[in-house]
Structure 1
Amino acid sequence: MTTESTGSSTDRTESADGFDFDTLDRPIDWNEAVPHFDDAPDHGLRDADVRAAWADRLAQWLPPAPADVLDLGCGTGSLALLAAGQGHRVTAVDSAPRMVEHARAKLTGTGTEVLVGDAARPPLDGRRFDVVLARHVLWTLPDPEAALRHWCALLRPGGRLVLVEGVWGGQSPVGLPVARLARALAPLAGRVHTESLSSEARLWGGPVTDERYAVVAVVDGPRRHTEVVDVHLIVRRGGEVLLARRANTGYADGLLHAPSGHTEDGEDVRAAVIREAEEEVGLRLAPQDLRVALVMQHRGPGTAPRIGWFFEADHGAGGTPVNGEPDKCSELGWYALDALPDDMVAYCRAGLDAYRAGERFVLHWHEDDDPVAYEATARRVVTLPMSGQQGQGAVRR
């Protein structure tokens, strides 16, 4: 949904519907914004000169018509109307039902489908498009990078993202700097073109002083899938295992986890776990100290999947464990493998349970709304039979 700011030609931090980007301390209710939304020159495109400026830009950014265009966060449908008028087949999505109601009225007779849905995950049933268009939408989403990855997956090979974004407000700026957006798109698109729009007064109905820009990114086709490879160390002291309590990391803080990390460029999994063991718990392990315990493909809530290698080592190998990263770990402790605590990272707890049961290859796939912490009622592990075993895998916990 467009959230363009308007106001005087020198200080345009307050929008036509009354919110001030410098004092924005609550989520915007876009249904409440509907009555005045189109008063902003670049929203309603009521002025012929502003409308012509946006039409010229769309003609430059969009492929030749007819193309399948997905307008995400369409607001009242002004850009969708321009695209449809240029001969494109348009599908528009907005999260606010009142916005959708106005967009449907504005787009009557154009053949445009207007849907109520989340711009980050639009309800499209597997459909693909030539263009994903979004104007001042990405900055409102909780995880812009995740949205970009999903939007790229909605494109056909050679499709393009057309994004208009900016940074508004003087005291407490909001928005997305162009550098952040370019970095996020670099691994997703073959070509990324950015252009400043701040000096284009025709687009905004007058001069502006804040940062406004457009990004056109072309996705050349499906890219080879890659996954992060992480490593985990199971240190055994008889029937006990060593666990560390995470702190100040921004992920699963307060929960227990085995000493772990991920491989670096050019590093094999055994070298990685040896390095992580020394960094995290002060153990100087040799390759012969390690045994492969478990391989797990796992996916956290709403995140990309990873491959996890769990290695086993006996207590005493490489020295005595110490807390090597007190800024990231609040404590180390020994815990009974057959009575593990519940306050653990879910996939690590599931991996240790599978290891204790003699499993060696497992999947652990979170649902998007799952917690990171272990829940006894959540059954997310699927065991994969090894060669010579019968069956197709079973959910254990």
Structure 2
Amino acid sequence: MHDPSEPQGAAVLLVNPAGQYLLHLRDANKPHICDPGTWSIPGGGRESGETAFEAAERELSEETGLAVRGLIPFTVVESVGPDGHTKGRIQVYLGAWDGDADALPVTEGIMYRWFDTATIAYLTMCPWAQRVIDLHRAERPLPPPRTDTAAAPVNRTRPHIVGVHLYLERDGQVLLGLRHPDSSFAGSIHHFLAGHCEQEPATGAVVREAWEEAGLRIRPEDLELVHVVHIPDRSGGLPRVQLVFRARAWDGEAVVREPDQCAGWAWWPLDALPEPIVPYTRAAIEGIRAGRVFTELGWT
């Protein structure tokens, strides 16, 4: 259990050599969103057994796909709600990164951008994130920006995001969900039950997502890997390895448990898949039917 005296949230302030800050525009209209419609920094709540540092690294990876070395503790801030009451304390870590914000995957929220302090003054800022930036401006704990014009070396190594997907087949039909129109991915398009692999084994991620999204109970030992799709991100972000697992057995019938993400579940004949459908979902189903285990899709 967490020590109640320790911050229950963690966040990361990233600064580039030009003194700009990486900010994240949060969703404005989804339910249960903290600080909706504001510019903030990557972060979130600690999970069971996590230290604040582990939570900061996980949230940064989940929200941006980044693994930034050398994060240092910077400050602790209070998150205050619209009613003026404190919602929790947040441990903020500081790091340096000099990449393309437009190339980052947007798994939550709207977008990422670099901003200098002059521009930040005109943004609708999350109050606690604004306090963090104000404090950094006053202290400047990172080395000053380089003044030479030499190009920095380019690291061609890129991390990949791992996605997990559930393939359920019954009487010649496959279970697919129709994504909610306002979903951040594939709105109004049919797709597998799916999610990102977090700090967990891939089979554990499938089990978790099946319960969270559809109320299905699956045991890890009843899963088998039946297809892998390797795709680039359509917006130029991090590439993705999509793992598709077949469940040999499960308990329950699919119900909508995340209505902001899925509008409904339905069984579709394998030879009459619905339209529109996520392209790599179709490719995976076709590959499974053909006995193939791997597809590369979208690479040029």
After TM superposition, the score normalised by the length of structure 1 is 0.39
Distance in 2 (CA, whole Å) between partners of 1:313 and 1:164 is 46
**Alpha-carbon spacing, 1:335–1:174, altered in 2? closer, same or farther (3 Å):** same
Q: Cα deviations across residues 332-375 of structure 1 (Å, max 9, x unaligned)?
A: 111111221230111111111111121111111267xxxxxxxx
The answer on 1:261 being equivalent to 2:217 is: no
User: RCO (CA 8 Å, sep 6+): is it higher in 1 or 2?
Assistant: 2
Shift of 1:317: 1.3
Shift of 1:194: 6.0
Aligned to 1:331: 264
**Of the two, which has the highest radius of gyration?**
1
User: What letter matches 2:241 in structure 1?
Assistant: I
Distance in 1 (CA, whole Å) between partners of 2:224 and 2:198 is 20
Distance in 2 (CA, whole Å) between partners of 1:256 and 1:307 is 19
Shift of 1:192: 6.1
Aligned to 1:352: 285
User: What letter matches 1:361 in structure 2?
Assistant: F
Aligned to 1:201: none
Shift of 1:167: 3.9
**Alpha-carbon spacing, 1:280–1:360, altered in 2? closer, same or farther (3 Å):** same
* Contact 2:162-2:196 within 8 A present in 1 as well: yes
Aligned to 1:209: none
* Equivalent residues in 2 for 1:137-152, closer than 5 Å: 145-146=101-102
* Equivalent residues in 2 for 1:118-267, closer than 5 Å: 145-146=101-102, 165-168=116-119, 173=123, 193=143, 222=155, 224-247=157-180, 248-265=182-199, 267=200
The answer on 1:298 being equivalent to 2:254 is: no
User: What letter matches 1:251 in structure 2?
Assistant: F
* Contact 2:231-2:297 within 8 A present in 1 as well: yes
Q: Cα deviations across residues 114-156 of structure 1 (Å, max 9, x unaligned)?
A: xxxxxxxxxxxxxxxxxxxxxxxxxxxxx9613699xxxxxxx
Higher normalized helix content (fraction of residues): 1
Shift of 1:318: 2.2
Aligned to 2:85: none
Distance in 1 (CA, whole Å) between partners of 2:263 and 2:244 is 22
Aligned to 1:280: 213
Q: Cα deviations across residues 17-69 of structure 1 (Å, max 9, x unaligned)?
A: xxxxxxxxxxxxxxxxxxxxxxxxxxxxxxxxxxxxxxxxxxxx89xxxxxxx
**Alpha-carbon spacing, 1:193–1:241, altered in 2? closer, same or farther (3 Å):** farther
After TM superposition, the score normalised by the length of structure 2 is 0.51
Q: Which runs of 5+ in 1 are unaligned?
A: 1-60, 63-142, 150-162, 184-190, 196-213, 368-397
Aligned to 1:115: none
* Contact 2:225-2:245 within 8 A present in 1 as well: yes
Higher mean alpha-carbon deviation, 318-327 vs 274-283, is at 318-327
Distance in 1 (CA, whole Å) between partners of 2:253 and 2:245 is 17
Count of residue pairs the alignment pairs up: 181
User: What letter matches 2:231 in structure 1?
Assistant: H
User: What letter matches 2:259 in structure 1?
Assistant: P
Distance in 1 (CA, whole Å) between partners of 2:144 and 2:163 is 35
Q: Cα deviations across residues 90-133 of structure 1 (Å, max 9, x unaligned)?
A: xxxxxxxxxxxxxxxxxxxxxxxxxxxxxxxxxxxxxxxxxxxx
User: What letter matches 1:256 in structure 2?
Assistant: H
User: What letter matches 1:145 in structure 2?
Assistant: A
**Alpha-carbon spacing, 1:234–1:304, altered in 2? closer, same or farther (3 Å):** same
**Alpha-carbon spacing, 1:146–1:283, altered in 2? closer, same or farther (3 Å):** same
